[in-house]
A = this chain, B = another copy of it.
Amino acid sequence: MAQNAHAARPGEQTPAVEDDHKGPKGVIKVPQRLLMGPGPANAYPRVLAAQSLPLLGHMHPPFFAIMDEIQEGLRYLFQTKSPYVLLVSGTGHAGMEAAIANLLEPGETIVVGNNGIWGTRVADMAGRFRGNVVELKRDAGQTFSLDEIKAAVQEHKPAVLFLCQGESSTGTHQNLAGVGDLCREHGVLLIVDTVCSLGAVPIFADAWKIDCIYSGSQKVLSAPPGAAPLMFGQRALDKLKGRKTKPATYNLDLNLIGDYWGWFGKRSYHHTGMVSMWYAMREALEIAREEGLEQLWARHNAMHKRLWDGLKSMGLEPFVEKQADRLISVNTIKVPEGVDWAAVVKNAMDTFNVEIAGGLGPTAGKCWRVGVMGANAHPAPVDLVISSFQDGLARQKRSL
């Protein structure tokens, strides 16, 4: 093409453009699937539709108004009056990293409750940020007692304690009773991961004295993956403001991102807000609010029971030994001896268009994982999962 047609700078070569188009041309094609694994869950149609609305600028007043609505919705979900709530741009991992990067300084001690992949990852992150990492370990399928948490806090005198409320790699639900009080008493900041539990089971950030909670968009909220709800209580904010060092990550520095979300009374540009994703979250949060938290919790509990009534009737058992440790949103199911778990997963997809998942990390090969979350926590999807197990196991009996 003529050199003056484009804006290459003097001296820059412009060889012929190469194109070797192998992939399918034309408009994207996406099959329909029922997503009953640990997430993403299917999104609400209204949430997906919001993403096709025209973009606004990330510094426009009408967009700020939508951010205000999101913050209101987050306060409701977290049950907090804290002004310090926002969406981290990214998935739950970005929320996790934002929490650790901003609340832990190099050389400080963090006690990490590690009973699955999320604790392992937090320990890895905290080490990269040059924290002194103490892992409180439990086997997959177990949770921590208040007594052992207390002993660890007393022994290690950490700056930060991390616990995962809903451990989706193992299917456990961490009891948080008394942990907030314990942390206040010892001057410890409490970070709780609720990526796959927020909205499915009760949590009260203020009443339970939790300093930082983060979550994900693609589980109970049934929005697409890409936004991590996050809250800081006043003690977390004070820690952030009083840091001796800058957080290692500029991209997730909550001093700067908080400034964009109006935490400090104005709105300063940090990075471009994820406009379509924020629209989706505004809708997802409003849908949760229209239903109401108590109803949301009760629906998830009822669907969890419905799932297990079906699974137990065919002899399947929970991977998590104790009833009180079992998570209701991501359910782990023991693989019976001699059964090919992967064949059951494959059959569910091939025959029913249903995703169920195998284990992850410490549970790989030992269990299936079934998510009953948000838009999918209803009788029809749950019953389809039960049918897919019945069919998958029956096929193996025939072939065993």
List residues of A whose CB falls within 8 A of some B CB. Answer: 1, 5-15, 17-19, 21-28, 30-33, 35, 37, 39-40, 42-43, 46, 48-58, 60, 62, 65-66, 68-69, 72-73, 76, 79, 89-94, 96-97, 101, 121, 124-125, 128-129, 173-178, 200-202, 204, 207-208, 216, 218, 224-226, 246-252, 269-277, 279-280, 282-283, 286, 289-290, 292-294, 297-298, 300-302, 304, 324, 328, 355, 360
Query: Shortest distance in angstroms between A120's beta carbon and chain B's nearest beta carbon?
Result: 11
- A37 pairs with B57, CB closer than 8 A: yes
C-alpha gap A271/B283 in the complex (Å): 23
Check B175–A360 contact: CB distance below 8 A. no
Known interface pairs A13-B208, A91-B89, A202-B12; A58-B177 also in contact (CB < 8 Å)? no
Does B272 contact A91, Cβ atoms closer than 8 Å?
Answer: yes
Q: A225-B275, A276-B280 are in contact. Are A15 and B207 (CB under 8 A)?
A: yes
What's the Cα separation between A68 and B202 when bound, in Å? Answer: 40
Report the Cα distance A284→B267, complex, angstroms: 30
Q: A6-B294, A33-B57, A175-B9 are in contact. Are A251 and B94 (CB under 8 A)?
A: yes
Contact A125 B33 (CB under 8 A): no
| Residue of A28, A58, A224, A275 with most partner-chain B CB within 10 A | A28
In the complex the two chains form, is B178's CB within 8 Å of A11's CB?
yes
Question: For A250, what are the chain B residues with a Cβ–Cβ distance below 8 Å?
Answer: 93, 97, 121, 124-125, 128
Q: How far is the CB of A88 from chain B (nearest CB, A)?
A: 9
CB distance from A3 to the nearest CB of B (A): 10
Whether A69 contacts B226 by the Cβ 8 Å rule is no
Q: Chain B's nearest CB lies how many Å from the CB of A335?
A: 19
Closest chain B residue to A178, Cβ basis:
B11
B48 touches A54 (CB 8 A): yes
Q: Known contacts A5-B297, A7-B328, A42-B55; is A24 also within 8 Å of B69 by CB?
A: yes
Minimum CB–CB distance for A92 against chain B, Å: 7
**A145: shortest Cβ distance to chain B, in Å?**
11
Known: A15-B207, A276-B280. 20 other contacts (CB 8 A): A5-B297, A6-B297, A7-B202, A8-B201, A14-B204, A17-B294, A19-B76, A22-B72, A28-B53, A28-B279, A43-B54, A48-B55, A48-B276, A51-B276, A90-B271, A91-B271, A128-B247, A128-B248, A129-B248, A226-B277
Known interface pairs A60-B355, A76-B19, A355-B60; A279-B202 also in contact (CB < 8 Å): no
How many copies of this protein are present in the complex?
A: 2
Q: Is there contact, CB below 8 Å, between B251 and A7? A: no
Chain B's closest residue to A4 (CB) is B301
Among the listed B72, B273, B277, which residue makes an inter-chain contact with A23, where contact means beta carbons less than 8 Å apart?
B72
A151 nearest CB across to chain B (Å): 18
Contact A19 B289 (CB under 8 A): yes
B contact residues around A289 at 8 Å (CB): 19, 21
Query: How far is the CB of A81 from the nearest CB of chain B, in Å?
Result: 8
Neighbouring B residues of A18 by C-beta, 8 Å: 76, 79
Contact among B1, B273, B297, B355 with A7 in the assembled complex (CB-CB below 8 Å): B297
Can you give 10 contacting A-B residue pairs, CB < 8 Å? A6-B201, A9-B175, A22-B72, A24-B69, A33-B54, A48-B53, A89-B94, A92-B271, A226-B276, A249-B249
CA distance A7 to B274 in the complex (A): 33
Please indicate the chain B residues that have their CB under 8 angstroms from the CB of A125 in the complex: 250-251
